[in-house]
Amino acid sequence: MLPAYSEINSKLILESKVKGKESIIIAVTPLTSKKQIKELKVNVESNRNFLNVIRPKLISKNKNRPPRTKFKGPAEEIFKDYAKSVVFIGNYKKNGSGSGFVINHKGKKIITNWHVIEGSKKVRVWLKPKNLVNERYMLDNLDSYEARVIKIDKEKDLALLEIVDMPDDIKPVQFGDFEKVNVGETAFAIGHPGDLIWTFSNGMVSQLRQDYKWKYKNSHHFADVIQIQVPINPGNSGGPLFNKNKKLIGVNTFTADGENLNFAVSVNDMIEFLNKPEKKIKDNKYIQKRKKSPTWITRKDNKTKNNNIDKKYPNAQKGDMNENGSTDIWFLDENKNGKIDTAVIDANEDGIIETVAFDENENENFEIFLFDDDLDGNADRAEIDEDDNGSSDIMAFDTDQDGKWDKYEKIS
């Protein structure tokens, strides 16, 4: 799976400034299991040693790969013609981002993956700037559009978006045909892997798989897919896959365990999705289900939005990361020593806390972030800034959500 999740929240927190050092006294809150945090810190050291050993082996293995074919002309034309047709999508309800691209369907529309916009009726969309900037600058300084989700197909993992007043110079992509895709031909992708926005990559079509089934954590999917060796990563989800003739052949969607096992939903399935009647999109209220593992997010009523969080932390210092006049971050003094050591975040201001951050040495830099990526009420991902330099070094996962961290990755 290529989850749309990025580090939008963590970056916002790291760059936010806490004004004032007045004493903030609140009750200790059961946001997370203390045992889970302790295990996280203890295991970081042992897993860091493992990562340091395995990384050189991975680099060595990479050196043995055959060089990628270099292209002149057609490949350059694909990016030149269609880079502006690819958009960056921010879904604050899921604390993540992904890719999308412009098509012509009863006017200009945007295609992306369902899991990119999951749970939202509206998302933010950025168009390619004239002068390429980094993701952080784009999010903080460049204008974005509000896109309305007008149609979804959860089974095929597809969604259709619409924005008002799309610029005239944005060219819709041209459709190809899944039936004419050949194993061994070269495919090309444009997307936003990690924070490397508008990245262009290529690779071989490994196989065509009809009626293919795959699943994510809480959803099952079914479609014709193209298996590709085009390198795609989180942030590529929903982006276009082209052939050498600059025709769209698929929507980059998910990866499988293993090397270069990447997949795109076929353009024919996308066309079938477009031709289906539109259905009313239900508003997911994200009712949290209590599990046996430690629960650090409690159920909220969306109608009251962040008022409930205000009531829970009446003496907390409030912040406005999105600068829209509404509170979305609460700074807490759990140790009751007049210094901030914890922050809880409701980035999309829907009354649900999605992220908790900890500044254990109270130096205004948060070293540990806990994320509830699937909004099921449990922390299932963590990021650790081990050297306390303002940038995450290690990512930890609780894949089976039993309250124990069972997978670690070094962030390069």
What average pLDDT does range 72-93 have in this prediction?
A: 86
Confidence of residue 260 (pLDDT cuts 50, 70, 90): confident
What integer pLDDT is reported at residue 354 of this predicted model? 76
Third-level CATH fold of 174-275:
Thrombin, subunit H (2.40.10)
For the chain, give the mean pLDDT: 76
Picking from 153, 261, 268, the residue whose alpha carbon sits closest to that of residue 210 is 268
Contacts of 177 (CB under 8 A, 6+ apart): 247, 249, 267, 268
Q: Nearest Cα to 29, choosing from 302, 377, 342? A: 342
pTM of the predicted model as reported, rounded to 2 decimal places: 0.54
* Adjacent-strand bridge partners of 153: 158
- Residue 173 zone, left/alpha/beta (φ > 0; ψ -120 to 50; rest): beta
Quote the pLDDT of residue 291: 32
pLDDT value at residue 7: 40
Q: Which residue has the higher pLDDT, 20 or 95?
A: 95
Instruction: Report the alpha-carbon distance of residue 70 to residue 202 in Å, rounded.
Output: 9
Amino acid at 351: G
pLDDT digits (tens, 9 = 90+) for 115-143: 999 988 999 999 999 888 888 889 888 98
pLDDT of residue 48: 54
For every residue of 207-261, DSSP letters joined together read EEEEEEEEE-SS-EEEEEEEEE-S---TT-TT-EEE-TTSEEEEEEEEE-SSSS-
Q: Which pLDDT tens digit goes with each residue over 195-248?
A: 899 999 999 999 999 999 998 877 899 999 999 999 988 899 999 999 999 999
Q: Which residues of 326-356 are buried (b: 16+ CB within 10 A; e: fewer)?
A: ebbbbbbbbeeeebbbbbbbbbbbbbbbbbb
Q: What is the pLDDT of residue 322?
A: 60
Q: What is the pLDDT of residue 5?
A: 32
212 DSSP β-pair partners: 223
Task: Please list the residues that pair with 110 across neighbouring strands.
Answer: 102, 161
Tokens 């760059």, residue located: 15
Handedness of CA 393, 361, 134, 160 (dihedral sign): positive
Residues 340 and 317: their CA atoms lie apart, in Å, by: 9
pLDDT at 319 over 90: no
Rounded CA gap, 231 and 66, in Å?
A: 14
pLDDT at 251: 98
Lowest mean pLDDT among 76-85, 99-108, 365-374: 365-374
pLDDT at residue 284 greater than cutoff 50: no
Residue 321: predicted pLDDT: 67
Distance CA 151, CA 190 (A): 23
Residue 25 has pLDDT above 60, yes or no: no
Distance from C-alpha of 13 to C-alpha of 319, rounded to nearest angstrom: 10
The domain limits of the chain are 18-54+291-410, 174-275
* 70, 75, 195, 392 from 186: Cα distances, Å: 11, 10, 25, 35
Token pair 């999740």: residue: 5
Q: pLDDT digits over 36-48, tens only? A: 666 666 666 555 5
pLDDT at 289 > cutoff 50: no
